[in-house]
């Protein structure tokens, strides 16, 4: 088996009783319906809960679907801004468990943080935070879907879909690209939504990088925040937080 091409790989298992990776189209009327598999953005959010620094960008390489894909419909009464509430039906995934393989790369949009580019430091902190269960609350898609993480070896985990050679999920939301993660001139100072056609092969979904998605849609303009190194010592902060 070939080794991963990146040296800063992290691998972990994320699990929860419920997950909701909602399709924006199904939110009309206040109701939500989950995708059958996680979005790139949702798994990236899990990694941000484990360890995040503006110096790096996390890239999700692949996930392995461990448990069967099954859904459950719940009646929810979301509170309206104007007061009161209406009954809405949310469709959740239940009893979910995924193995994740990801890596980070330097954020070239942040030249002001170049002094914080210490690969071993960030990699070691991220791995320690996986062992400790993350720095912030971990959830799968929405805040009410609490999740838990633990270290794992991606290739040693078994999927219930290993015998299925290929399963397609059609056009699906991939994630958002914010100005500080812009990958082209067209995505600078903008929020861009990315879409793709995921395929699961023997239980494994290999994610495209955001820039490689076949469909991109600009949502709106947004300026990128610039960090002032005289006020923000990210290098020292990262080393201090690694002692948790």
Instruction: Please give the pLDDT value at position 240.
Output: 38
Domain segments of the chain: what residues?
Answer: 10-235
Radius of gyration of the chain (CA): 19
Residues of 93-110 as b/e, b for ≥16 C-beta within 10 angstroms?
Answer: bbebbbbbbbbbebbebb
Instruction: Please give the pLDDT value at position 84.
Output: 65
Give per-10-residue mean pLDDT for the chain (244 aa).
67 97 71 92 96 95 97 84 76 97 95 93 96 94 94 96 96 94 90 96 97 94 77 46 44
Instruction: Please give the pLDDT value at position 173.
Output: 94
Q: Which residue has the tokens 């002692």?
A: 243
Instruction: Please give the pLDDT value at position 2.
Output: 41
Q: Please state whether the predicted TM-score (pTM) of the whole model is above 0.85.
A: yes
- 201: which 2 tokens? 């092969």
Instruction: Please give the pLDDT value at position 231.
Output: 57
100, 243, 212: which is closest to 159 by C-alpha? 100
What class has domain 10-235? alpha beta
Q: What are phi and psi of 37, to 5 degrees?
A: -135, 160
CB-neighbour burial class of residue 165 (10 A; exposed 0-12, middle 13-18, buried 19+) = exposed
- 146: which 2 tokens? 């609490």
Residue 106 forms beta bridges with which residues?
56
Instruction: Please give the pLDDT value at position 3.
Output: 44
DSSP letters for 114-143: GGG--HHHHHHHHHHHHHTT-SS--BSSST
């Amino acid at each position: 088996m070939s080794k991963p091409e990146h040296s800063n790989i992290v691998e972990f298992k994320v699990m929860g009783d419920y997950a909701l990776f909602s399709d924006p189209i199904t939110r009309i009327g206040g109701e939500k319906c989950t995708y059958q598999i996680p979005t790139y953005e949702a798994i990236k959010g899990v990694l941000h809960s484990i360890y995040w620094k503006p110096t790096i960008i996390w890239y999700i390489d692949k996930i392995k679907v461990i448990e069967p894909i099954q859904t459950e419909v719940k009646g929810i009464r979301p509170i309206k801004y104007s007061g009161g509430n209406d009954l809405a039906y949310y469709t959740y995934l239940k009893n979910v468990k995924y193995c994740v393989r990801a890596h980070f790369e330097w954020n070239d949009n942040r030249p002001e943080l170049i002094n914080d580019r210490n690969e071993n430091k960030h990699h070691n902190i991220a791995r320690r935070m996986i062992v400790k269960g993350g720095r912030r609350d971990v959830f799968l898609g929405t805040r009410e879907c609490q999740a838990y993480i633990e270290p794992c070896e991606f290739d040693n985990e078994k999927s219930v879909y290993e015998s299925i050679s290929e399963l397609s999920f059609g056009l699906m939301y991939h994630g958002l690209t914010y100005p500080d993660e812009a990958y082209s001139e067209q995505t600078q100072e903008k929020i861009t939504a990315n879409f793709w056609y995921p395929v699961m092969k023997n239980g494994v979904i290999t994610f495209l990088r955001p820039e490689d998605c076949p469909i991109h849609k600009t949502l709106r303009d947004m300026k990128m925040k610039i960090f002032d190194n005289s006020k923000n010592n990210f290098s020292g902060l990262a080393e201090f937080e690694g002692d948790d």
